[in-house]
Amino acid sequence: MSAGYELLGARGLAVDLNGTRILHDITLAIEPGERVAIVGPNGAGKTTLMRALSGALPAAAGEVILCSEPIQNLSRETIAHSIAVVGAGISLPFATRVDDLVALGRIPHGRGPSGASAHDRERAAAAIERVGAAHLVHRDVRTLSAGERQLVLIALGLAQETPILALDEPTAHLDLRHRMEIADLLTSLAGDETIMKTKRTIVAIFHELDLVREHFTRVLLVANGTIIGDGTPASVLTPALISAAWGISPERAARF
């Protein structure tokens, strides 16, 4: 990578939803291979930040930079080749086998009117294998448990083969063991080399601060519509900042 290459960042970013300012004064730069946790209280703007960084929401002020380009200059297809977003959940209108679902992650790579090619099927199968869900390929996604479903959604994002994988609350509704397994998996995925010859970058909204300390290299602490802490878990997840973000006493904050 040449000097000055910027994988993903924001400069003075503000985002409005229905005329209300949700985010303001967001400036950040994310390097290839980082494992970034976005943490903060409910309603602080974490999901809005992720949507703005992935180009799903327009900037009201400032800009988002993706692969050294202002994101508004990039086509939806180009963005889809750079960043995959794993949503907080999925509802499917029809019975859908796991392999058929994950093959949909190949849509940005498709050409012409025909469906998933043999190569797409191969890449989808590799993604399913990578998350350890090979035993689920022929199951209907709608009959999976919450933990299995989350693995499949991560495979769907991996099949897109992007340098950045973004995940909105990948541990929501999971039990202790599954939360730990997802965190382990994300750490392991960050070690993979992507098609852009760099380590995969992970950006995930997370609530479990203990897992964030253990598994992430960097924390963005979002509160009241802006980033109030950005750095290593040890430097951001301090009693003072936790207390400020969640509005709890420093004594209680010291327990997290």
- The structure tokens listed for 136 are 């689920």
19: contact with other proteins by CB under 8 A: no
H helices of 83-117, in order, are 98-103
Residues 194-213 interacting with other proteins (rule: CB under 8 A): none
Out of 1, 92, 240, 254, name the contact with other proteins by CB under 8 A: 92
Rg of the chain's alpha carbons, rounded to an integer? 18
79: contact with other proteins by CB under 8 A: yes
Out of 8, 33, 54, 127, name the contact with other proteins by CB under 8 A: 54
Nearer to other proteins, 78 or 238 (CB): 78
* 3-state DSSP helix/strand/coil % of the chain, to nearest 5: 40, 25, 35
Out of 11, 24, 60, 104, name the contact with other proteins by CB under 8 A: 104
103: contact with other proteins by CB under 8 A: yes
Identify the CA nearest to 162 among candidates 38, 231, 243, 74.
74
- What gap in Å lies between CA 150 and CA 144, rounded to an integer? 9
Task: Supply the DSSP symbol for 212.
Answer: H
Nearer to other proteins, 118 or 234 (CB): 118
Judged by CB under 8 A, the number of residues near other proteins is 39
- What gap in Å lies between CA 65 and CA 78, rounded to an integer? 13
Residues 117-146 vs other proteins: string with x where CB under 8 A? Answer: -x---------------------x-xx---
Nearer to other proteins, 100 or 181 (CB): 100
Out of 23, 65, 80, 219, name the contact with other proteins by CB under 8 A: 80
- What gap in Å lies between CA 139 and CA 89, rounded to an integer? 17
Out of 93, 177, 234, 249, name the contact with other proteins by CB under 8 A: 93
223 - beta bridge partners?
Answer: 226
Nearer to other proteins, 41 or 110 (CB): 110
- Other CB atoms closer than 10 Å to residue 42's CB: what's the count? 8
Out of 2, 42, 114, 249, name the contact with other proteins by CB under 8 A: 114
- What gap in Å lies between CA 79 and CA 160, rounded to an integer? 11
Identify the CA nearest to 160 among candidates 102, 106, 88.
106
Out of 116, 128, 219, 236, name the contact with other proteins by CB under 8 A: 116
Angle, CA of 80, 82 and 83, to the nearest 5°:
70
Contact footprint for other proteins (CB under 8 A) = 51, 54, 56, 75-81, 83-85, 87, 90-97, 100, 103-105, 107-108, 110, 113-116, 118, 140, 142-143, 156, 160
